[in-house]
A and B are shown apart, each in its own frame.
Chain A
């Protein structure tokens, strides 16, 4: 039974479950603005979960990680994305997805696979948050699924960022986070990536009058 799980581990599990729930909510979300808000919320919960791990294990560098997560994923990136959406006039963009219930069912299958794959790995780990490794893997796979099923550019970028959230959660749960240098590097990469993709958005829209990336399949060298 579960009576021997300490309170901090329970809190971490709760945060991880909420992150998983938000990943599913993002998978089902049709509107761009809400999608970005969900992403910001996921970043916030990720920051909380990292904080709980940091307080429990007294790992100082995790405080910086949590701060970085809050600043970057909960505030800065959503703000940049909001600005992009406003400038591109795609605020009311409603995307027709491939049949939401089907996507969700595929998502559930992915979660099962992720949980089963992560089970033997998490037994090897000695951290307090090892149980959440399966959830982290599931979040990564759900983000993948989101990138595959979406046709518009901005949801794809949000999927990419959500995948980074999943990787961060995996790192925290398996080994109490990556070395600070790596973490800073990834954070900067993501930031620069979003800015460059923002420039791409304008180029794509100028070229095709739409952010639907299916147009790009018809590109030819003439």
Chain B
């Protein structure tokens, strides 16, 4: 483990913690602009977190220890994901801890804990949200895995760092398979991050909510951790998407200047990505929950098509 790698790793984690709420704020602001509402301040998520950390925790009488530990587990999972995904540099000492498949597992672990915690109190909304979350999750996961298989086939490795290095170093080749995978990944990210076509993060309308229904019982620092974890998840998915499909400018081993240069580039890419997300959320309407399988089925289909097209067109026998 080199010193520069260690610094890069530390830096990536700190940046993820600091930037994630900003990304959420930016998306909310873009959404407000596009819908010609007056936008909340860019730093609103930070104020929110600050306020929630100050407040006392109110627990239900029948809350078990699972309910109390879940926010920490979820937060840790998301932080680990942010540490593994190369946002600034591919030289990450933590990266061997989990390849892309294990990364999907880390997201899955967080999902299981948030669903269990939602059902722990026994309110109807919690169970409803938990069940819906599992429905969305079990449909989104195979699609995400297929996307990852496509990129792994191009780079002959399932390690995130190797995939990104291979993709960043290739000659200019049009990969139709990557285009398919990119669309599928966007659809999966929308579903996983509780965004508009599948879930609306700004609503507390009982019939439609998924993510909000699960965290209704949380308060104080628990809620703050979950909100922060949700921001980190959005950040992690954005960074994963950028690393897989727009990998240019990510620094490599022993390249300290590249690390510095990668920061403004990452900020720029995230700003554009956040705007694109807000645009998608504005032009789409939230669909009925029973349409979600169709939506995610399409994502799975696209990912499988990408894999097949990769096999047919891009390998020469």
Seen from chain A, the residues whose Cβ lies within 8 Å of a Cβ on chain B are: 1-5, 7, 10-11, 13-14, 16-18, 20-21, 24, 28, 100-101, 104-105, 107-108, 111-112, 115, 118-119, 123, 131-132, 134-135
Q: Is the CB of A3 within 8 A of B173?
A: yes
Q: Is the CB of B308 within 8 A of A10?
A: no
Count chain B CB atoms within 10 A of each CB in A11, A17, A24, A115 and give the residue with the most.
A17
Task: Give chain B residues whose Cβ lies under 8 Å from the Cβ of A135.
Answer: 309, 312-313
Q: Which of B179, B302, B308, B312 contacts A131, CB < 8 Å? A: B312
With A104-B301, A111-B308 already in contact, the answer to whether A2 and B316 are too (CB < 8 A) is yes
Kindly specify which of B9-17, B60-68, B94-102, B292-300 makes contact with the partner chain: B292-300
Residue in B closest to A18 when the chains form the complex, CB atoms: B176
Bound-complex Cα distance A112 to B316 (A): 18
B317 within 8 Å of A (CB atoms): yes
Q: Which of A3, A13, A21, A100 contacts B305, CB < 8 Å? A: A21
Q: Is the CB of B305 within 8 A of A101?
A: no
Residue in B closest to A17 when the chains form the complex, CB atoms: B176
Q: Is the CB of B297 within 8 A of A101?
A: yes
With A3-B173, A5-B173, A21-B180 already in contact, the answer to whether A108 and B313 are too (CB < 8 A) is no
Q: Is the CB of B308 within 8 A of A132?
A: no
Q: Which of A24, A28, A100, A115 contacts B312, CB < 8 Å? A: A115
Minimum CB–CB distance for B170 against chain A, Å: 8
Chain B 265-317 residues near chain A, CB threshold 8 A: 293-294, 297-298, 301-302, 304-305, 308-309, 311-317
Task: Give chain B residues whose Cβ lies under 8 Å from the Cβ of A11.
Answer: 174
With A101-B293, A101-B297 already in contact, the answer to whether A132 and B313 are too (CB < 8 A) is yes
Chain B 169-202 residues near chain A, CB threshold 8 A: 170-171, 173-177, 179-180
